Structure 1
Amino acid sequence: MSTSGLFPGALGPMPETRTSAMLIWPSTEPVLPPRFVEGFEPFEAFAREAGADPAVLAADLGALWDFVAAHPELLDAPERAEAAARFLGNAVAVAHPAARWQMTSEPEVGTSMMSIPVAGLLRGIVEHPERRESFDEMLASWPQADRDAEELDALSREEVEIDFVVAPAPFTRPALEVPEFVDESGQVIAHGSRWPYGSPPEDAYSRVSHPERFAPVTGVVDALVDHVETWYDIEVDRRSDESGARVWHLRPTTGAAITLSGTAESVLIEAGALTRELAPSCTCDACDETAESVSDAIEETVLAVAAGGLREVFPVGQRRWLHTELRTPDGGRRSGGGEPGPSLSAEQLDEAADVLARLPDGWWPAWTLRSAQP
């Protein structure tokens, strides 16, 4: 690797593939993505010709922002624009030493918590120089966001033994009667396997076709609720709301309550104090979910919560994030973290924090099995 007098470290080539995490090869030291990349020399020359000191710009993001904003012609030549973006990304890495380069759909510099597409940042400075204050605020909050993310990550890695309480009989899903849907050419759409030979087309991410294919899932929810009501000591309230959505309130004598709200297109799962899941999480054509995959997700969540596999920790870190974790009796495990639902008021969040503080490390107990069973 080469070095530069402008940036405090070695210069490396732009990563060719995504390297948001370190790569470990057998019998070698971990190989980290570069903190600084080469190829910014045309911008360095441009800055000198414009009367600016590149060393000052490299060490002061505010000065660099003002310089770029004052020279929109940087975008006129592709080679110069790319060099400016690389210089800008290196300057971000100076301001935030944990940041490193990675390649996604375009070059970015950042951490696992936050990553900045450098070409987009360059254009943003030229087109919206007035946004410097919000950019400075983001940079100032970044270190704390990384610390909070590390705390969330540590929670997700914790090992714990759970005494699952499983219903004596497994749940049997009723048959799903999903009608066939056809495309513009009259061909039957093979939902769930539409893209067997590679990535979906770009426009599939913004297209939603036949979300009504999820309508049969409400029948699965009905059967699932009947199943847990049979085996666990819970009260169930079934109703329809003013919009026509089906609603099931599951109130156990012990453990986390669940509310399911189902329409022809999705089912919202609310569990415990703050856990919220939407199934499907996305209905776009690219994700290509099916009634079967959505049913899988709902069954996994409800049965795991009933068995004692739900954990909620809130607040985490200074940013007051939520950590959720779901474990299944067969060894499955998934976790998530971030801001709680934006619709929740400060009072609701405080109430949830009080409830969760009384649980052992945030773990909800299992539901109690009925004493008189079939």
Structure 2
Amino acid sequence: MTTPDLFPGILAPMPDAAASAILIWPGADPGAPPRFVDGIGPFVAFARDAGADPAVLAADLFALWDFVAAHAGLLASAETADAAARFLGNAIAVVHPAATWHMTSEPEVGTSTMSIPVAGLLRTIVEHPEHREPFREMLASWPQTDRDDQELAALAHDDVAIDLVVAPAPFTRPALSIPEFVDDDGHVIDYGSRWAGGSPPEDAYSRTSHLERFAPVLTVVDALVDHLERWYVVDVDRRVDAQGTRVFRLRPTTGAAITITATAESVDIEAGALFHDIAPGCTCDACDESAVTVADHIEETLLSIAAGGLQEVFPVGQRRWLHTRIRTPDGGGRSSGGEPEPSVPPERLDAASEILAGLPGGWWPSWSLRAPRS
């Protein structure tokens, strides 16, 4: 069955899962992902038999929506339904020219910020045609989402040279007294390497065990605060609440202030205007965090902020996203971006925007070092 030039591009085969995989074997040439895929013939025939012009449906996504919503019978044939889903994805690629096809558990068309499973969308159109306007609104916001994502990506890869000011003496981590934990079979659990490089069992993602294993990190937090107070000009307020939670407020004369809230199960860090971090990032058994990995993360974060290695940029793009980066004294680090936490009130966001606009590139200055002690 032939199909005329309904879409503004060559119809290519649907990419398979291997071609869509993130991991590409060395030497392989997967080529560019297709904008338009073939296999649309059965739907084209169905549309013509129903008195519709396939060229009109290809050029008008919401005329296509209305046609599909009015012809639920196309789902009765697996062949026609598959062709309709491909046709629908091609029509989305016409509306959003950056969208391309890839395969996950089912065919999808989209970009790095939004990807639409076409078979699922086809069923939604038939079963919930009232979703037409929300879908239109989502499509209208898609280009801006892509632009905002590109702006965040540029910030994350902008290799700005900054001068970090580290303490004259390196931080010495106190020895961690880590208790031994056993599983239901009596075997010692080697947290941090329990999966030996392999994949954890599926149920491990919904299971947590022995959160008390993070309690030794409290000694590291105490030592880090003492270290920062010794070497930098910073006022430190320490208190312990009725539940035993340690709260440290560090107010330097220059640079980003830090608030640390530490319990036996987690350590929460707020710094600068909007920076927020929590360790462990996930307590499920699959992620397999240990007291050592959590201590590593906290040490890296606090020492980097004091040295001048915290960047905050807000707002990014029309969606007013937040970009943060931690730069470590050894040149490493990490970055993240996305919407600020929903709990942050609008007035605080406005204040943060003003504060961060006054920082060069969003980089907080380093804390001032104390004068050498005689």
Both proteins in one fold, TM over 0.5: yes
Give 5+ residue unaligned stretches, structure 1.
Answer: none
Partner of residue 86, structure 2? 86
Counterpart residue identity of residue 272, structure 2:
G
Q: 1:252 to 1:25 in 2, by over 3 A?
A: same
Partner of residue 288, structure 1? 288
Runs of 4+ in structure 1 off by over 6 angstroms are 20-26
TM-superposition CA deviations, 1:1-34 (whole Å, max 9, x none): x9962221112233334759898998x9x94211
Q: 1:96 to 1:231 in 2, by over 3 A?
A: same
Aligned pairs (5 A) from 1:142-221? 142-196=142-196, 198-221=198-221
Partner of residue 122, structure 1? 122
Mean Cα deviation higher: 250-259 or 282-291:
282-291
Aligned counterparts of 1:307 and 1:20: Cα–Cα separation in 2: 39
Q: 1:191 to 1:138 in 2, by over 3 A?
A: same
Aligned counterparts of 2:201 and 2:268: Cα–Cα separation in 1: 28
Question: Is residue 53 from structure 1 mapped to residue 48 from structure 2 by the alignment?
Answer: no
Aligned counterparts of 1:77 and 1:192: Cα–Cα separation in 2: 50
The Cα shift of 1:308 comes to 0.7
Aligned counterparts of 2:120 and 2:4: Cα–Cα separation in 1: 25
TM-superposition CA deviations, 1:232-253 (whole Å, max 9, x none): 1111112234654322111111
Aligned counterparts of 2:76 and 2:215: Cα–Cα separation in 1: 52
Partner of residue 316, structure 1? 316
The Cα shift of 1:58 comes to 2.1
Partner of residue 139, structure 1? 139
Partner of residue 339, structure 1? 339
Q: 1:328 to 1:373 in 2, by over 3 A?
A: farther
Aligned counterparts of 2:43 and 2:142: Cα–Cα separation in 1: 27
Aligned counterparts of 2:205 and 2:126: Cα–Cα separation in 1: 29
Q: 1:65 to 1:367 in 2, by over 3 A?
A: same
TM-superposition CA deviations, 1:284-339 (whole Å, max 9, x none): 22222222112111111111111111111111111111111111111103222111
Counterpart residue identity of residue 325, structure 1:
R
On the 8 A contact 1:279/1:298 being kept in 2, the answer is yes
Aligned pairs (5 A) from 1:235-254? 235-241=235-241, 244-254=244-254
Aligned counterparts of 2:99 and 2:343: Cα–Cα separation in 1: 32
Question: Is residue 12 from structure 1 mapped to residue 12 from structure 2 by the alignment?
Answer: yes
Q: 1:218 to 1:31 in 2, by over 3 A?
A: same
Q: 1:265 to 1:66 in 2, by over 3 A?
A: farther
On the 8 A contact 2:3/2:44 being kept in 1, the answer is no
Aligned counterparts of 1:87 and 1:81: Cα–Cα separation in 2: 10
Give 5+ residue unaligned stretches, structure 2.
Answer: none
Sequence identity of aligned pairs in percent? 69
Q: Secondary structure at 1:237's aligned position in 2? A: strand
The Cα shift of 1:205 comes to 2.6
Partner of residue 263, structure 1? 263
The count of residues paired between Structure 1 and Structure 2 equals 371
Q: 1:269 to 1:104 in 2, by over 3 A?
A: farther
Q: 1:58 to 1:177 in 2, by over 3 A?
A: farther
Partner of residue 228, structure 1? 228
TM-superposition CA deviations, 1:76-102 (whole Å, max 9, x none): 554444333322222211110011122
Aligned counterparts of 2:134 and 2:349: Cα–Cα separation in 1: 26
Counterpart residue identity of residue 346, structure 1:
P
Aligned counterparts of 2:47 and 2:5: Cα–Cα separation in 1: 15
Q: Secondary structure at 1:90's aligned position in 2? A: helix
Aligned counterparts of 2:143 and 2:241: Cα–Cα separation in 1: 44
Q: 1:22 to 1:181 in 2, by over 3 A?
A: closer
The Cα shift of 1:254 comes to 0.6
Mean Cα deviation higher: 47-56 or 329-338:
47-56
TM value normalised by structure 2: 0.89
Question: Is residue 304 from structure 1 mapped to residue 283 from structure 2 by the alignment?
Answer: no
Q: 1:200 to 1:233 in 2, by over 3 A?
A: same
Q: 1:40 to 1:214 in 2, by over 3 A?
A: farther
On the 8 A contact 1:22/1:31 being kept in 2, the answer is no
On the 8 A contact 1:314/1:321 being kept in 2, the answer is yes
